[in-house]
Structure 1
Amino acid sequence: MSELAAIQLCPVITRDHSRLWNEYIHRYHYLGHKPLPGAQLRYFVILDEQIIAALGFSAAAWQTAPRDQFIGWSHEQRQKNLPLVVNNARFLIMPWVKSKNLASTILSMIARRLPTQWEERYGIRPVLLETFVDTERFAGTCYKAANWIYVGKTKGRGKLGPAGKQSVPIKDLWLYPLCRQFRSHLTR
């Protein structure tokens, strides 16, 4: 664990780092690189001056039944407060990196750091993180180990899919509250 204590989260700020982040995601993430929607922050995870992981956070999904039921908000509340939810859109540990507990350690670090950096950049302090896990590829073990909460499965429609028909893989939805009062912030 002492080696994991030396890892650093480095925001992607420069154009060169942005191109490198895009290239790593394109090359090694199963979803490939597509521009992240809306507000976003991207990070490299560094250990001994080497990039070992990359993360991307963006605007939350417009609606997803398991999250919306877990929060308990109305359509109007969701419309007003959705910017308080941030989506972990990409999480990549480089394929040559093998380290027990690395993924959950990174998720715990980012949960502490992201709210302040998001607020500094966008003037909004998020209160909830979300992510979607393709269960045909992954079990969500690192999210569980980092104390994220499993809230259910998507319907597989995607944001542009036809109503009532599955057009993308059904995914597990995991949430991570960033403060104890997250529901009151989201249901105001």
Structure 2
Amino acid sequence: MHGSIEQQRFCGREFSAEEVSLIQEVVDTCGGVSRNELAKTVCELLDWKRPNGGLKARECLDLLEQLAGKGILRLPDKRQAGYSGPRKRIAQAKPDAPYSMLTGSVEAFAPLIVERVQTKPQRALFQELLARYHYLGYAMPFGARLQYLVCVSRPRREVVGCLQFSSPAWRMRARDQWIGWDDERRAAALQHVVNNSRFLVLASIRNLASAMLACTLRQLKSDWQRQYGIAPLLVETLVDRKRFHGGCYRSANWIELGETTGRGRMDKTNKRHGERVKTILVYPLVKNAARRLRDGR
């Protein structure tokens, strides 16, 4: 039995009750079709595309799974192909020895090498490092994403860090006020903001963190535009103030805007206000980023 049909918001888009009903009908009538094929069909019917014309199938698959979790529709079973574990995996960092024993100043290990995660071995290594050493573990992000491994080149090539960039927060008061957004402009321009959703440093090398940020951001803009057909103008991040000061971001010329309310994305009833307050920092990738996000030019 399906749940009640209501308007849904996902990845910055409002889906009307009629559109949700259409999604239900597609899922119900396309028996024997894989989840990926369903996602592509829904994208085509709803004209849910990227600026370069590509279908937003990855985001649509996440939407279908969310609707299924709410009982609004029933998806076909996942087809076993390759990795058969859960799509979303979170593990606490283990109190093991440090991944890298390198110490000293970052200049001794330069230049840093930034590798975009694209191959299966790279993805496996990235996920394992986050699961093992990051305090939040690894979780598959919703929507668009790019992931990077950062290596030193001397005395040997060795991975010393991981960074992940993904879809931005839908609403953050301090950020939105800094840009000068109203709801309409935010909805139109939000896709030009990217969130640094994971940052992991694996070696005790002085100034490594800020150097990793700087060299990765130099590559991010062109990679994101090539992948998604969107030119990012601003990068944001949220720093858990109970755990970190965020000094590496400030050293890399990020701008502190304020703090979140502490609710988190999924706290729609405002029950967790103040529980997980985080510092909001942003980094403009272009001149006059706030004006361009606000005015669209």
The bucket for the TM-score relative to the shorter chain is over 0.9
Larger Rg belongs to: 2
Name the residue aligned to 1:82: 190
Q: Pick one of 176, 179, 182 that aligns with 2:289.
A: 182
1:21 Cα deviation from its structure 2 partner: 0.5
1:165 Cα deviation from its structure 2 partner: 3.1
In percent, how many aligned pairs have the same letter?
40
Structure in which a larger fraction of residues adopt strand: 1
Alignment of 1:53-72 (within 5 A): 53-72=161-180
Q: Higher relative contact order at CA 8 Å, sep ≥6: structure 1 or structure 2?
A: 1
1:183 Cα deviation from its structure 2 partner: 1.9
1:159 Cα deviation from its structure 2 partner: 0.7
Structure 1: stretches of 5+ with no match in the other structure: none
Is the contact made by 1:115 and 1:125 (CA closer than 8 Å) also made in structure 2? yes
Name the residue aligned to 1:100: 206
1:89 Cα deviation from its structure 2 partner: 0.3
1:186 maps to a residue whose letter is L
2:163 maps to a residue whose letter is L
Is the contact made by 2:179 and 2:291 (CA closer than 8 Å) also made in structure 1? no
1:5 Cα deviation from its structure 2 partner: 2.7
Find the aligned partners of 1:110 and 1:21 in 2 and give their Cα distance. Answer: 15
Pair 1:114 & 2:220 matched = yes
Q: Pick one of 226, 238, 249 that aligns with 1:132.
A: 238
Per-residue CA deviations over 1:70-122 (Å, capped at 9, x if unaligned) read 1111111111111100000000011xx11111101111112211001110111
Pair 1:10 & 2:131 matched = no
Find the aligned partners of 1:185 and 1:4 in 2 and give their Cα distance. Answer: 37
2:180 maps to a residue whose letter is G
> Paired residues, what number?
186
1:36 Cα deviation from its structure 2 partner: 1.4
Per-residue CA deviations over 1:31-56 (Å, capped at 9, x if unaligned) read 11111121111000011321110000
Find the aligned partners of 2:251 and 2:272 in 1 and give their Cα distance. Answer: 30
1:67 maps to a residue whose letter is R
1:4 Cα deviation from its structure 2 partner: 4.4
1:162 Cα deviation from its structure 2 partner: 3.5
Name the residue aligned to 1:143: 249
1:2 Cα deviation from its structure 2 partner: 3.0
2:266 maps to a residue whose letter is L
Structure 2: stretches of 5+ with no match in the other structure: 1-105
Find the aligned partners of 1:32 and 1:173 in 2 and give their Cα distance. Answer: 21
Find the aligned partners of 1:58 and 1:9 in 2 and give their Cα distance. Answer: 17
Find the aligned partners of 2:117 and 2:276 in 1 and give their Cα distance. Answer: 29
Normalising by structure 2, we get a TM-score of: 0.61
2:278 maps to a residue whose letter is K
Is the contact made by 2:131 and 2:138 (CA closer than 8 Å) also made in structure 1? yes
Runs of 4+ in 1 over 6 A off after TM superposition: none
SS of 1:152 mapped into structure 2: strand
